[in-house]
């Protein structure tokens, strides 16, 4: 059983979440709390495997609570509950930076309590299984070493030292599992050695844990990067604009939320907007962005597979693709087309991933030319776009 503590100041929302989680036989709500102060006491008493945490609460709000949780319990997964508003997006991004594992959005404009429960259930149950290492469910990745199904209650509760960002700053909310060395092991070898040819574009896909991982990578890239960067991070509308603006303020590169018919330029990061697939297409001598509202893929829109397929068609073997932490397998099919076109693919390693679903799927399929810890990925991108071979310490070759 996965034990969950539900924290929200609304009795109605606490009941809604509890009812939604009650449909899963492997999840048990062990307690509730109306604010962060009570939640911290109950975490100590109940030793839950995961906490759901509201942002706006009296006495001690979600952001304050998140910081307090991460200061004491580096490995306790926390899922934030957010509203689809600019204020909600800002607070959620702050919470993710403070170490929250993931977030879900509160139901809005739904017609019934049953519909609200369904909305919460579909968002949160796959995330709980992914973050707590369950093998159950179509979206759940393989269990991470040291976090096996059937573990004793509180196995994710013990304090642990967080990883370091490039430059030594702590990376909140991301901890190497016990007994797993940095960078591996990968479960399947890549089919060929890394490419050495010219790179014309970097394409990145990420999901759970992605905002913090992506921030770490983008901030480490120089303004002089000679290629464009196109990104899909699974996020809803409003959130992607706020996230792009936040990155733009702190990164050397220019970061924008992608729109239709933007000319793709070196030194610029184009982030797929929420609820739109992002593609790139050639128009004469230029490459431009295209948005569409086609069906979700892998339950997602934007989807990494859609972006990767278009990059394979447009740039072919001149692509350097990166798959960062994320739940599920989005990006795997697109990576297959990229590899067939001769592109190079880098996957984040298991030890530094919040959830190794997406990079794990690419690695296990033998599609990754290199499997790197998060702290080495930016250096690899810089080296490869400068014409070098890139980081070699964690490369997985035949």
Q: Is 330 designated active site?
A: yes
Do 72 and 94 contact (CB within 8 A), yes or no? no
Among the listed residues 3, 101, 207, 353, the single catalytic one is 207
| CA gap 83, 51 in Å, rounded | 18
Give 16's contacts (C-beta < 8 A, 6+ positions apart).
113, 116, 117, 120
Among the listed residues 234, 277, 305, 310, the single catalytic one is 234
Q: What are phi and psi of 377, to 5 degrees?
A: -70, -45
**Of the candidates 258, 261, 267, 265, the residue with the CA atom closest to the CA atom of residue 283:** 261
Place of tokens 């080296």: 383
Q: What are phi and psi of 245, to 5 degrees?
A: -60, -40
Region of 238 on the Ramachandran plot (φ > 0 left; ψ -120 to 50 alpha; else beta):
left
Place of tokens 């933007």: 262
| CA gap 81, 62 in Å, rounded | 9
CA of 73: how far to CAs of 10, 100, 131, 353, in Å? 25, 12, 15, 17
Q: What are phi and psi of 274, to 5 degrees?
A: -60, 135
Among the listed residues 330, 349, 353, 380, the single catalytic one is 330
Residue 106 DSSP class: P
Q: What are phi and psi of 273, to 5 degrees?
A: -75, 150
| CA gap 277, 397 in Å, rounded | 32
Known catalytic residues are: 207, 234, 330
């Amino acid at each position: 059983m996965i034990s969950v503590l539900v924290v929200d100041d609304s009795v109605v929302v606490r009941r809604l979440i509890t009812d939604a989680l009650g449909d899963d036989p492997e999840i048990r709500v062990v307690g509730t709390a109306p604010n962060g102060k009570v939640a911290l006491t109950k975490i100590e008493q109940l030793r839950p495997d995961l906490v759901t945490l509201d942002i706006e609460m009296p006495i001690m709000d979600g952001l304050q609570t998140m910081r307090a949780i991460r200061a004491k319990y580096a490995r306790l997964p926390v899922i934030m509950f957010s509203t689809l508003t600019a204020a909600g997006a800002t607070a959620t991004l702050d919470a993710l930076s403070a170490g929250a594992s993931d977030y879900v959005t509160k139901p809005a404009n739904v017609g019934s309590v049953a519909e609200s429960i369904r909305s919460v259930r579909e968002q949160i149950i796959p995330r709980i299984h992914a973050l707590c290492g369950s093998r159950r469910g179509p979206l759940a990745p393989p269990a991470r070493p040291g976090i096996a199904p059937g573990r004793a209650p509180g196995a994710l509760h013990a304090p642990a030292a967080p990883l370091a960002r490039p430059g030594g700053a702590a990376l909140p909310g991301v901890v190497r599992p016990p007994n797993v060395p940095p960078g591996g092991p990968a479960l399947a070898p890549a089919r060929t050695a890394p490419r050495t040819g010219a790179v014309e574009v970097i394409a990145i896909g990420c999901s759970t844990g992605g905002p913090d991982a992506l921030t770490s990578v983008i901030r480490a890239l120089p303004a002089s990067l000679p290629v464009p960067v196109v990104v899909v991070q699974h996020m809803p509308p409003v959130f992607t604009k706020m996230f792009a603006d936040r990155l733009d303020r702190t990164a050397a590169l220019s970061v924008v939320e992608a729109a239709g018919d933007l000319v793709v330029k070196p030194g610029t990061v184009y982030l797929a907007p929420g609820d739109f697939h992002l593609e790139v297409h050639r128009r004469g001598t230029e490459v431009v962005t295209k948005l569409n509202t086609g069906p979700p893929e892998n339950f997602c829109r934007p989807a990494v597979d859609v972006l990767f397929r278009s990059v394979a068609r447009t740039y072919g073997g001149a692509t350097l693709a990166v798959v960062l932490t994320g739940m599920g397998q989005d990006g795997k099919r697109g990576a297959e087309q990229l590899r067939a076109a001769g592109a190079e693919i880098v996957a984040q390693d298991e030890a530094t991933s919040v959830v190794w679903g997406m990079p794990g799927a690419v690695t296990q399929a033998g599609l990754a030319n290199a499997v790197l810890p998060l702290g080495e990925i930016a250096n690899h991108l810089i080296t490869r776009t400068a014409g070098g071979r890139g980081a070699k310490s964690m490369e997985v070759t035949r």
